[in-house]
Amino acid sequence: MIALNLREIAQAVGGELHLHGSTLTPESRIDGAVTTDSREIGPGAVFVAKPGDVTDGHLFAPTAVERGAVLLIVEHLLDLPVAQIVVPDAVTALGDLATDVVARVRAAGSLKVIGITGSNGKTTTKNLLKAVLERVGPTVAARESFNNEVGAPLTMLGLTLETRFLVAEMGASAVGEIARLVRMARPDIGIVLKVGLAHAGEFGGIDATVRAKTEMVTGLLETDVAVLNADDPRVAGMAGATRARITWFGQNGTEGVRATDVVASATGTTFRLHLASGETRPVAFRVLGEHHVMNALAAASAAELLGVDIDLIVSALESVHTAERWRMEVMGGRDGVTVINDAYNASPDSMTAALKTLAQIRRPGQRTIAVLGEMSELGELAGEEHDRVGLLAVRLNISQLVVVGRAARRMHISTINEGSWDGESAFVETPDEAFDLLRSTVRPGDTVLVKSSNSAGLRFLGDRLGEFFS
């Protein structure tokens, strides 16, 4: 965090400062990291005691102090000899502090903020854009998927006065949450990737999802730019909801940043990149899956708006070979067995994309195996969407399907009920059972896709398979 004194921090979060035996004064300056995780505390850090669903951050405050925290942001005063700021709501205070820090850094220098939202692809696009921008100047971007009301402000609090670019993922599980994050970061560029059924159960349906994602562009000013997916009608429709200038990306249109000559393979995807300026270059993109080309186009769109040269954009895109841990992560190799671990998250759209990739990269005579688990947070749509994925596996002629977990069982049922399929489907209750089955049935040369929502835990199954076949 940038250096602020205790008085300034208290004012930013609307809290009451208590020195409580600390040797600090209201004018003492703090520049340590801010975190809600006591395990990440180091000397000079600020610990935000966030109440949680399972436990309460206040219980870990003593550990934070032992590890070197010099300031606690708490909802009630604790009997600890350390400076404390008491606030009504710790999560709100965290956001208020992030808002203040972003505004100070923007006022002090040349900070540009890029906000990214969408049902799928946020983390990949963030990583791609970070790879481009960090070649131009100091760049701060979320680690992993820090994109909610806690993770996003923690990312923003990593700014320094030298930071030139902030790449902020903005996720949500309810209407109003993205709007709050937009008010914190005040993006100069707002990217909307796609609107799909991810988290539709939490939002209350696709229409509510559209409203939530539209908050990215409604919060932009006339001087800002909205970067919209021209190939997604729901995203394209957001053009009428913003005051900002519009620029487009996609594969099907003729405007904005585009890709042509797209060819997917087991080593990545090649395509020709066309910038809005008319400049064009071939790209050998090593991130597996044709669907990630759209994320590359979104990143290139923002980079072009920020004045980055096309050759630098292409070089940076080509340097990235994995979207993120557990996202189309290629593992294995022994006996020609390839394991694709894509089990960090899953929605109907991302599940479809992963299965299509599996089918696309299959070589003649090669077997493909899809190990699939639950797609969570779909609400009343869960049954029919799991059915649809099972039928898609049949229609793509996937050689073997292994369905893991009772919540995903309808995938298995829908495939065995499809009389036109001469493939096989197996159902197991647990990842351990799946591992035992696959260990004995995978043949040399097979390609195995592991895909599920995070909650199903199949990412660890993917790791076990990758290690076993390495």
- Which of 90, 120, 149 delimits the end of a domain? 90
Tokens 């290629």 sit at which residue? 330
CB 444 within 8 A of CB 336: yes
> What distance in Å separates the CA atoms of residue 274 and residue 251, rounded to the nearest whole number?
10
pLDDT in tens, 94-111: 999 999 999 999 999 889
163 is in an annotated binding site: no
pLDDT of residue 363: 87
- Which of 30, 61, 90 delimits the end of a domain? 90
pLDDT of residue 163: 97
CB 373 within 8 A of CB 429: no
Same domain, 274 and 383: no
Q: How many domains does the chain have?
A: 3
SS3 353: helix
pLDDT of residue 52: 80
Same domain, 127 and 201: yes
At position 177, the amino acid (one-letter code) is: E
pLDDT in tens, 234-258: 999 999 999 999 999 999 877 899 9
Same domain, 430 and 396: yes
pLDDT of residue 166: 98
pTM given for the model:
0.88
Same domain, 281 and 357: no
Same domain, 182 and 309: yes
In a domain, 247, yes or no: yes
Q: How far is CA 42 from the centre of its chain?
A: 26
Same domain, 191 and 305: yes
92 is in an annotated binding site: no
451 is in an annotated binding site: no
- Which of 295, 319, 343 delimits the end of a domain? 319
pLDDT of residue 377: 81
pLDDT of residue 181: 96
In a domain, 324, yes or no: no
CB 155 within 8 A of CB 165: no
430 is in an annotated binding site: no
CATH number reported for the structural domain that contains residue 366 in this entry: 3.90.190.20
In a domain, 357, yes or no: yes
441 is in an annotated binding site: no
Q: Strand 447-451 relative to strand 338-341: parallel, antiparallel, unpaired? A: parallel
pLDDT of residue 202: 58
Tokens 């609090």 sit at which residue? 157
36 is in an annotated binding site: no
In a domain, 220, yes or no: yes
pLDDT of residue 208: 84
CATH number reported for the structural domain that contains residue 144 in this entry: 3.40.1190.10
Residues of the domain holding 117 = 109-319
Please give the structure tokens belonging to residue 347. 């929605």
Same domain, 335 and 310: no
Same domain, 218 and 351: no
Same domain, 276 and 399: no
121 is in an annotated binding site: yes
CA distances, 85 to each of 6, 60, 97, 162 (Å):
9, 16, 12, 28
Same domain, 121 and 55: no
CA distances, 461 to each of 152, 176, 386, 403, 465 (Å):
29, 36, 20, 13, 6
CB 184 within 8 A of CB 95: yes
pLDDT of residue 66: 96
Nearest CA to 113 among 177, 147, 163, 180? Answer: 163
Q: Strand 424-428 relative to strand 46-48: parallel, antiparallel, unpaired? A: unpaired
Same domain, 435 and 386: yes
pLDDT of residue 279: 97
CA distances, 122 to each of 80, 378, 457 (Å):
40, 19, 21
Q: Give the mean pLDDT per block of 10 residues along the chain (470 residues).
A: 97 96 94 94 96 88 96 96 97 97 94 95 94 97 82 95 96 87 97 78 72 95 97 96 97 90 91 97 94 96 98 97 79 93 89 94 92 90 93 93 95 84 84 96 96 92 94
In a domain, 216, yes or no: yes
pLDDT of residue 440: 92
Query: What 8-state DSSP symbol labels residue 327?
Result: B
